[in-house]
Amino acid sequence: MSSRRTFLAGAAALCAAHAGRARAEAILTDDGLYRQPWFLESFLELADDLAGAGAQGKRLAVIWELRGCPYCRKTHLINFAQPEIEAYVREHFELLQLNIIGAREVTDFDGEKLSEKQIAGKYGVRVTPTFQFFPERPTDLGQKEPREREVGRAQGYLEPRKFLAMFGFIAGRGYEQQNLGDFLQHVAAKG
C-alpha cells in the first residue's frame, strides 16, 4: 500500500515542481465532472487514502458529484477558484472526488468492493455536491455502520464563506463539540 502512495506522492511533487506557483484551474473531464488538478489521485481504497492523508497531517474528505450538476460546477468555478479557499483545503485535506452514479470500483473501509454508485447508496448519499469528512485515523472504521464512520457531512452548494468555514470546522475538530449542520446554521445566521 505505501509503495503506491509513495509513487503517487512523488508524481504529484514532480508535477507541482514543474507547475511553479501558478494556480491551477478546474478542468472539465471526459466524464463531464469538473475536477481540480490537485484532487487526490487514488486507487479508490478508502482505508489507504485515509492513512495516506493522515501520514501527511491532513484529513480525508470525499466530494460526491454528478455530471451536469449546476451546484457542483459552482463549487469548482466559484469556491475553489478563490485562492484562500484552495490554499486552505489543499493544506489541510486530501479531497477524493467520486461520481454518485459512477461505475469505478471502490474498496470501502470494511473491505467491501462496490461501484461508486453502490457506495453512494451504502452511505445514503443522494444529492450533489455532498462532502463527507472522515476521522484522522482509521481506527475500527470498518466495524462501524457507514454513517457512523463520518465526523461530518454537508450536502448541497455552500457560498464561499460557509464553504471555507466548513473546512475550518473539520480541520479544527469542531465536530467534537457540535455537529457540522448546527455549526453551518450558526454561520448562516451570523450573515
CATH number, domain of 50, equals 3.40.30.10
Q: Which domain holds residue 33?
A: 24-190
12-27, pLDDT tens digit by residue? 443 343 343 445 689 9
Asked if residue 106 belongs to a domain, the reply is yes
Asked if residue 127 belongs to a domain, the reply is yes
**pLDDT band at 122; cut points 50, 70, 90:** very high
Asked if residue 91 belongs to a domain, the reply is yes
Q: What total of structural domains would you count in the chain?
A: 1
Asked if residue 12 belongs to a domain, the reply is no
Asked if residue 148 belongs to a domain, the reply is yes
Q: Is the model's pLDDT at 134 over the cut of 70?
A: yes
CB-side exposure of 10: number of CA atoms within 13 Å?
6
Which residue pairs from 28-32 have beta carbons closer than 8 angstroms and sit at least 24 positions apart in sequence?
31/67, 31/99, 31/102, 32/67, 32/68
